[in-house]
Amino acid sequence: MAGSPRFGLLSRVLEFGARAHYRGAFMIHASPLRLALALFALPTTLAASPASLPAGAVTAAPVRGPPSCADAWAMIDLAVARHVVHDRLTPELATRARDLLADALIADHPWLTAEDIAAIKGRASTTTAAALLAERTAGRCDHLQAQLSTVRSALARAADLFPTSELLAGTLPAEPPEEEPQQTDEPPEDAGALRTLLAGDALGEAWRVRGSASWPVARAFGARRALRWLDLSRRRLAGRGAADLVNAFAHALDPHSRYETEEEADQSDRELNPQAGLLGLELGDPVPGGLPVAGLHPGSPAARHRGLRVGDVITKVGATPIADLDAGEVSSLLDAYEEAVPLTVARPSGHRLGPPRRIQLVRQVLQDRNMSVTATSRIERGLRVLVTRVDEVDQDTAEAVERALHLGRRPPDAVVLDLRGCTGGYLSTSAAIAGLFLTGGPVVSVHRRGAPDEVVYDPAPERAYAGPVLVLVDEETASGCEIVAGALRARGRALVVGTERTFGKGTMQDVFDGELPTGALYVTTALFFLPDGSSPQGAGVQADLVIAPATEGAATESSLPWALPSPAPAMPLDGCDVDRDPTLAEALERLGATARESRRSRRAGTDLALVRTTELAARLAAERRKR
């Protein structure tokens, strides 16, 4: 409904964790060379021209244009008004946003020289928060436009370094280099150094594909990639503007609030909509002739087609050659076909592509998306331990976990719920997963600014499994998965094992688009608390048994810029002791003494954390049998 948050899409959404939704532009300043290459891997979802689409293609609805300056400030005011902590646009937030905007422009545009970067940073340091807030009052974006002017000038200078005729005539050497150009994290000092860097990028890319093409072909490919890079950079810059300002202020609120353009929001909808017609194709980086098939989704139309396999190169979508298109543009061409998608593919043969073959993939509506859940049974000490791994929390993940619990003629003797690397998902699904091991009672409470706390209960009081449970976590276990692990631990129903603590994302985001002129705004609107009154925000869920070291240098919620602090504990919820297992506390000390020991071989490739957890689960089950 217009004018209301998009609760229908992501009702009480919990973001898919830091990896998926914390954009790197505000995290690190990667090398210009690597960022130049990365531009070709980013989904741009550029709309294909109707004239380029053959008969049978369905054109998408017109895309609303980028936001204006007045739109941007209105969206910023909306984000602040709905945020769980910040209730007004302060000078401190304006200063954060100013600096984040500068950092994002520098990280996103690798053609900047050291002089350009100094100009951007210098302008940021001399623009006061008061001046930015005055622009808000006037509905202007003078600071943003001045920064973008520097970036546009830098791009024009980079394009002038490589005129099309010169580049195609032979900028790249006629013979392969003896070794690849060296990458550097330092920005080039001047235009001459920038030319060397960009030429090295094109040369290195051509050299990297030498195994699939002769050097003349690879050389021409490198030249084409350099031109493609410049053209894509122009279009990406033209499509930003005020969207960058909204994003900077959103990230100033916290790391998970953000703005998506119309194209980015459409892409998110496709990724989150479980009823979307899927092809199951994963595309790789461009190679001479087209885009390679990098992966096939199990059970998808692409995986079932006998004429397609990983490594094949897609050369046409319909009648449109894709040799000079990036993955985002190819995705737009694929999306233009509602059902049957005609493709031309070729199989590499030595240094050349084999003869072209025409195939057709028919989109499939996947009714069962439990590919995010895998279950295996392991026999340990004569007992069956069911290891259920959850990779992400989709709408039907709880149903998939429940089906796994019912595998076999009798219930497993113990269950290991492996949530390592799972960065979350839907709140309702997270509560339902925890509820599979509970008999009613509270799972999590949600706190919003200026509103009573909302308690989410186990949606199905009849639990699916009553035996011992161990939850295996690591430092990437986040958001909705922290609800599952934390609720089962707080309710005394399971032991949490793994790294010392989980990621620490205890916030949830709502999506607003009906109130916006264009795009979608993700705002952190709530904090969540576990049944014992603690919140994972910042602190994570603490493990009962530490059996694995944290990855050195791994990011956590508290390490992200402007992450919200850990809130004060809330009052414990009533009904927390309904399912408390008294054997867990008694067994914890005995299990801890042997938690780091394993009877299994420590050969390369062994998942020691899983081996140890499986053994602990079997010991726990054996102790319960003795009772």
Contact 502, 475 (CB under 8 A): yes
- 141 vs 62, higher pLDDT: 141
| Nearest-angstrom CA–CA distance, 301 and 359 | 12
- 163 vs 411, higher pLDDT: 411
Q: For position 244, what pLDDT does the model report? A: 93
What is the helix (H) or strand (E) element at residue 473, kind and residue range? strand 469-473
Contact 315, 308 (CB under 8 A): no
Residue 318, Ramachandran bin (φ over 0: left; ψ between -120 and 50: alpha; else beta): left
608: pLDDT confidence band, cut at 50, 70 and 90?
confident
Contact 390, 422 (CB under 8 A): yes
| Model confidence at 258: pLDDT above 70 | yes
| Model confidence at 542: pLDDT above 60 | yes
Q: For position 461, what pLDDT does the model report? A: 82
Topology agreement, domain 275-365 and domain 370-626: no
Q: For position 105, what pLDDT does the model report? A: 92
Q: Which of 376, 473, 366, 448 is nearest to 415 (CA)?
A: 376
Q: For position 299, what pLDDT does the model report? A: 67
Contacts of residue 322, defined as CB under 8 A and 6 or more positions apart, other chains included, come to 290, 291, 314, 315, 316, 329, 330, 333
3: pLDDT confidence band, cut at 50, 70 and 90?
very low
Q: Where do the structural domains in the chain lie, given as residue ranges?
A: 23-254, 275-365, 370-626
The 3-state DSSP composition of the chain as helix, strand, coil percent (nearest 5) reads 40, 15, 45
Q: For position 548, what pLDDT does the model report? A: 87
Say what percent of the chain tops pLDDT 90: 42
| Nearest-angstrom CA–CA distance, 438 and 456 | 13
| Nearest-angstrom CA–CA distance, 199 and 193 | 10
| Model confidence at 180: pLDDT above 70 | no
| Model confidence at 563: pLDDT above 60 | yes
Mean pLDDT of 191-217: 65
What are 529's strand-pairing partners? 445
179: pLDDT confidence band, cut at 50, 70 and 90?
low
353: pLDDT confidence band, cut at 50, 70 and 90?
confident
Beta strand ranges found along 242-284 (DSSP E): 258-260, 277-278, 281-283
pLDDT digits 0-9 by tens, 44-90? 222 333 333 333 333 334 446 678 899 999 999 999 999 999 999 99
Q: Which of 192-201, 472-481, 527-536 has the lowest mean pLDDT?
A: 192-201
Q: Which of the four CATH numbers 3.40.50.300, 3.40.640.10, 2.30.42.10, 3.10.20.810 does domain 275-365 have?
A: 2.30.42.10
- 232 vs 466, higher pLDDT: 466
Q: For position 206, what pLDDT does the model report? A: 62
Q: For position 269, what pLDDT does the model report? A: 67
Q: For position 175, what pLDDT does the model report? A: 66
| Dihedral angle computed from the Cα positions of residues 545, 547, 550 and 556, in that order, rounded to the nearest 10 degrees | -30
Q: Which of 175, 21, 127, 94 is nearest to 524 (CA)?
A: 21
| Nearest-angstrom CA–CA distance, 419 and 482 | 9
pLDDT digits 0-9 by tens, 383-433? 999 999 998 898 889 999 999 998 878 899 999 999 999 988 899 999 999
What are 561's strand-pairing partners? none
8: pLDDT confidence band, cut at 50, 70 and 90?
very low
Return mean pLDDT, the chain: 79
| Model confidence at 203: pLDDT above 80 | no
Q: Which CATH superfamily is domain 370-626 in?
A: 2-enoyl-CoA Hydratase; Chain A, domain 1 (3.90.226.10)
The token pair that represents 403 in the structure block: 């089906």
| Nearest-angstrom CA–CA distance, 329 and 47 | 7
Burial profile 89-118: b = 16 or more Cβ within 10 angstroms, e = fewer: beeebbbbbbbbbbbbbbbbbbbbbeebbe
Neighbours of 495 (CB within 10 A): 26
| Model confidence at 32: pLDDT above 60 | no
Q: Which of 314-323, 570-579, 594-603, 617-626 has the lowest mean pLDDT?
A: 594-603
Q: What Cα–Cα distance (Å) separates residue 86 from each residue in 81, 92, 135, 250, 254?
A: 8, 11, 20, 11, 10
Q: For position 577, what pLDDT does the model report? A: 78
Has this prediction a pTM greater than 0.85?
A: no
Contacts of residue 559, defined as CB under 8 A and 6 or more positions apart, other chains included, come to none
